[in-house]
Amino acid sequence: MGKKSTTSTNKSKEKRQARKLEQRRIADGMSFVTTANKLKDLNSLCKDLLMYSIEDKEIDMSISRVTDLDKEALDWAIDLTERNMKKLYETCAWGWNKERKVEEMTDDAAWYLVARDKNKKLQAFSHFRFDMDYGEPVLYCYEVQIEEAERRRGLGQRLMQVLERLAAETRMHCVRLTALTHNPSAAAFFRACGYSIDDTSPAKEDCAHYEILSKATAVDNAEDCIA
Ligand SMILES: CC(C)(COP(=O)(O)OP(=O)(O)OC[C@H]1O[C@@H](n2cnc3c(N)ncnc32)[C@H](O)[C@@H]1OP(=O)(O)O)[C@@H](O)C(=O)NCCC(=O)NCCS
């Protein structure tokens, strides 16, 4: 027994306050994620970015939940992912497991940003989700896939800009993603779009075959957000 000193009382008070703040931060984050996932129309948050002209082509983008995406677009997205990624997955510890990929891509939590030309031909897509990740509300980009013939025309960058706008409007802290380290074009692309190694990425000495990249949400955009 004995009486606690003032210093130790102050220290435990500080710890309690820090714990409360952390719980509050996580609860706020979870509520932003819930609100974002309940939104009926994400298109209205980034209308100005959804039309894109590349030389001779006009691209129109739209955002929907996987549950509202038409079957043709979903089947094409799965096929494009296989065409673009199978070899890269096969040459790392993950391996290519189509069933697992389809399960991930058709999970009810998935949102899709899909780009079509004016003849409705499918050109590019991103699968993303609003989620808590390491205690933070984030927009997680699961895929960004462009048809081979449409690359290096700024379409990938425009898709990322849409995701970044959505993250800001819904109070996500950042856009976060996982990239394979042996995919140099993706590495160059994400760096060109302003993404850098996230704190949650494996340490260099772990020699992992993937890295976690992120781009913080622009504060200016986040101020007038809807959430
Ligand atoms: C990576 C990918 C999404 C890039 O899309 P994209 O529409 O071609 O990219 P953009 O035209 O918007 O490129 C923007 C900038 O990124 C950089 N970049 C893009 N692709 C690059 C490549 N293959 N090599 C080097 N830099 C590249 C360039 O700086 C480019 O600007 P520039 O063309 O003016 O030099 C596309 O190549 C792709 O779908 N690859 C296969 C799937 C994949 O790897 N996805 C990413 C992991 S999920």
Among residues 163, 149, 152, 146, the alpha carbon closest in space to that of 188 is found at 152
CA 4–ligand 1 middle distance (angstroms)? 61
Which pair of tokens denotes residue 217? 């949400």
Q: Which atom of ligand 1 is nearest to the CA of 157?
A: 12
Please determine, for residue 147, whether its predicted confidence score (pLDDT) is greater than 90: yes
CA 63–ligand 1 middle distance (angstroms)? 21
Nearest CA to ligand 1 atom 44: 186
CA 173–ligand 1 middle distance (angstroms)? 24
CA 23–ligand 1 middle distance (angstroms)? 39
Nearest CA to ligand 1 atom 48: 143
Q: Which atom of ligand 1 is nearest to the CA of 124?
A: 39
Mean pLDDT, residues 149-160: 97
Q: Which atom of ligand 1 is nearest to the CA of 177?
A: 48
CA 146–ligand 1 middle distance (angstroms)? 9
CA 129–ligand 1 middle distance (angstroms)? 21
pLDDT for residue 100: 97
- Domain ranges, ordered by start, for the chain: 6-222
Which pair of tokens denotes residue 3? 């009486």
Q: Which CATH number is associated with domain 6-222?
A: 3.40.630.30
State how far the Cα of 201 lies from the Cα of 226, in Å rounded to an integer: 30
Q: What is the pLDDT of residues 89-132, one digit of tens each?
A: 999 999 999 999 999 999 999 999 999 999 999 999 999 999 99
> Is 117 within 8 Å of 123 (Cβ atoms)?
yes
Protein residues whose CB sits closer than 6 Å to any atom of ligand 1: 84, 143-146, 151-157, 179, 183, 185-186, 188-189, 192
Mean pLDDT, residues 168-174: 98
Q: What is the pLDDT of residues 186-221, one digit of tens each?
A: 999 999 999 999 999 999 888 889 999 999 998 654
Nearest CA to ligand 1 atom 29: 192
Residues 6 or more apart from 144 whose CB is under 8 A from it?
124, 125, 126, 156, 159, 160, 177
Nearest CA to ligand 1 atom 1: 186
User: What one-letter code names the amino acid at 196?
Assistant: S
CA 191–ligand 1 middle distance (angstroms)? 10
CA 151–ligand 1 middle distance (angstroms)? 7
Pairing of strands 136-146, 174-180: parallel
pLDDT for residue 220: 54
Nearest CA to ligand 1 atom 9: 156
Q: What is the pLDDT of residues 60-80, one digit of tens each?
A: 999 999 999 999 999 999 999
Please determine, for residue 223, whether its predicted confidence score (pLDDT) is greater than 70: no
Average pLDDT, the chain: 94
Position with higher pLDDT, 184 vs 225? 184
Cα–Cα distances (Å) from 99 to 92, 151, 193, 220, in that order, read: 17, 27, 31, 41
